[in-house]
Amino acid sequence: MVKEDAFLEWEEVYDNQFYGTLRSEVERIWKKGKHVIFDMEVKGATNIKKAFPDHSLAVFIKPPSPEVLFARLRGRKTETEASLRKRIERATLELTYENTFDTVLVNDVLSQSLAEAESIIESYININTVATG
């Protein structure tokens, strides 16, 4: 499917673990008049933004600090020590992408972060509906 250009974006996030977004799925959702919201890693988000610079909003969701993020990952107790190291290495890299996004949302208190995320998205949709509608 990569060779057929079926993906809008794709990335090898971890060794031999690939993630991507099918172009056909995005088009299918748009044809229904719906908005697409992605929860994805930073390189994929950056590629989506490059593909649709005037029709996308990239929100970087970050922890209050790297230490809080690492404590959250450890606290889940769902990772082996090796996979936890891999996740922490990846998170450290991803935190360097903050300035490539349109806006930043600090995920500290979940209920507040959710409300702020909803507000950011609603504002974007409302502004762009008026601009294009």
pTM for the model stands at 0.81
The pLDDT, as a whole number, for residue 132 is: 52
| Pure H helices in 52-109 | 66-76, 81-94
Give the rounded distance of the alpha carbon of 58 from its chain centre. Answer: 7
pLDDT tens across 42-86, in order? 988 998 999 889 889 999 999 999 999 999 988 998 889 998 998
Residue 131's pLDDT band, with cuts at 50, 70 and 90, is: low
Quote the mean pLDDT of the chain. 90
Residue 130's pLDDT band, with cuts at 50, 70 and 90, is: low
- For residue 48, the tally of other CB atoms under 10 A from its CB is 20
User: What is the set of domains in the chain, with CATH numbers?
Assistant: 1-43 (no CATH), 57-132 (3.40.50.300)
Q: How would you classify the pairing of strands 103-106 and 17-22?
A: unpaired
